Amino acid sequence: MTDSDSDEGGSVNTMGGSAAGEAARRRTFAVISHPDAGKSTLTEALALHAHAITEAGAVHGKSGRRGVASDWMEMEKARGISVTSAVLQFAHRGHVLNLLDTPGHADFSEDTYRVLAAVDCAVMLIDAAKGLEEQTRKLFDVCRHRGVPVITFVNKWDRPGREALELLDEIEREFRLRPTPLTWPVGAPGYMHGLIDVREPGQMLRYTRTPGGSHEAVEELVPAERAALEEGADWEQATEELQLLRADGAGFDRASFLAGTSTPVFFGAAISNIGVRLLLDAVVDLAPAPGPRELEGGGSRPVDAPFSGLVFKVQANMDPSHRDRIAFLRVCSGVFERGATVTRAASGKPFATKYAHSVFGQDRSMVDTAYPGDVVGLVNAAALRVGDTLYAGPPALFPAMPTFAPEHFAVVRPVDIGRSKQFRRGIAQLDEEGVVQVLVSDVRGDQAPVLAAVGPMQFDVVSARMAGEFSAPVRLEMLPYHLARATDAAGAADLNGSRLVEGEALTRVRDKAVLALFPDRWQANSFGRAFPGARLDPLLAAHD
């Protein structure tokens, strides 16, 4: 999974090398944002500028345009949103870039959080008009908690929006994160004339966009004297603002960026391919290469240790013609070699890596070798689960993936009882992927499990995939619960046997955890008072 000497076409092929040497050439990063900030469009634009594709995908919902490569599910294409993460690997300037596109909608927070456990850096999009939105704030907090450095891209500068200095103030005020702009816009949002590369301030980059933004925008280098003459007051204002920022000490500092106390900021417009090349170069120049990986219980595994990897995502039916199942593995150390037998930490049993693919959106190809930072798709890996560690040599176990407290619950039943086998297989698959959490009880049985979700849109994904992929349409009956607490067998017996409190206890299939469900906090408190000895422990919430 190394790139060729030439970056033509953004191709990546195998040359071989040491784990540490190849890791130094990797950049593994996620693109994250609030919904509708332009995340999938930027993902496509980055691949275009790396020459990994020849034509950018279109904004969803625009007639006559293609969907973006990273959005491959029918529901994503129909709604114009990302509902699952996707992996794109391509070459740029002698480096291998592993880009993970993530869902922006808060209902799919768990998928985004898993991706952030598999990357070394994140590119955060901010809408120039809306600034910091609710999901943006949550994602910044997660990146800080995980120690993931953040590069900020202020998108949609080709539309009316807020002032650049105002947006920087908001970032610093809200996140206690020092913004250090590396590009600066000439002209107000909606009236952009070009960009100044802060590292080369004596010139302006002027852009001529291509029709529909399907190809790279043409860049023209305009000397400062000419820019001042042609852009007048806008050029003067931009240079004055940069002088003000320099006087305020807003210069880029790599140490503080890697420590998560500052964020380099870029401006542009992904749909028009403005400023995208500068951002892509910054990922190569600024984002950290893969390094030692923290282990459960303390210590770390260096990149040159024997092979180890983390399964951060499981996805079925990416290829409708094959109906297979793929486990996405982030290589953390050593060299991955297809066909090698490794150990699954959760069971201690051997696992054969016979079918391994490199993934680019929905497309994939066989891969023989991969290095730290690379993402490998293990095909038909039925034994693997999200959060699994695979290793060779000395044992390794990476920290477990978080499971968030569900806030929406629904009983799911097959529309056609004759499709019960397909129904059970589909629900089990979606549970293993982490699309929803599946709860069961002795009262309802296997034919009517309870689906638990962080957000209600997860139920739409279940309905669409059960009908389209498993040929087992379902009907959902919403339950009146919005609060879950961890309990035990004694607490479950108390809750299910009580007539004083509205609620019930069910068992989560994935890990056999017992969850007590209540309509609201008041009912949970009432149960606690009625049964003071019962266990009621809070669960990790997606908004924590």
Annotated binding site for GTP: 101-105
CA 10 to centroid of chain Cα atoms: 22
Distance CA 13, CA 3 (A): 5
Q: How far is residue 401 from each of residues 288, 302, 310, 359, 389, measured CA to CA in Å?
A: 22, 20, 10, 22, 11
Who contacts 78 (Cβ-Cβ below 8 Å, separation ≥6)?
Answer: none
Nearest to 275, CA basis, from 444, 373, 158: 158
Annotated binding site: 101-105
DSSP H/E element including 332: strand 325-333
Tokens of 147: 């120690």
Residue owning tokens 């007051």: 233
Tokens of 381: 């890996």
Distance CA 203, CA 193 (A): 12
356 contacts 376 by C-beta, under 8 angstroms = yes
Tokens of 344: 């699954």
49 contacts 216 by C-beta, under 8 angstroms = yes
Backbone phi, psi, residue 525, to 5°? -65, -35
CA 306 to centroid of chain Cα atoms: 27
Tokens of 287: 């984002």
Nearest to 154, CA basis, from 269, 250, 32: 269
CA 53 to centroid of chain Cα atoms: 21
Longest pairwise C-alpha distance within the chain: 81
130 contacts 154 by C-beta, under 8 angstroms = no
Reported as half-sphere exposure (CB side, CA atoms, 13 A), residue 296 has a value of: 13
- CB burial class (10 A; 0-12, 13-18, 19+) of residue 320? exposed
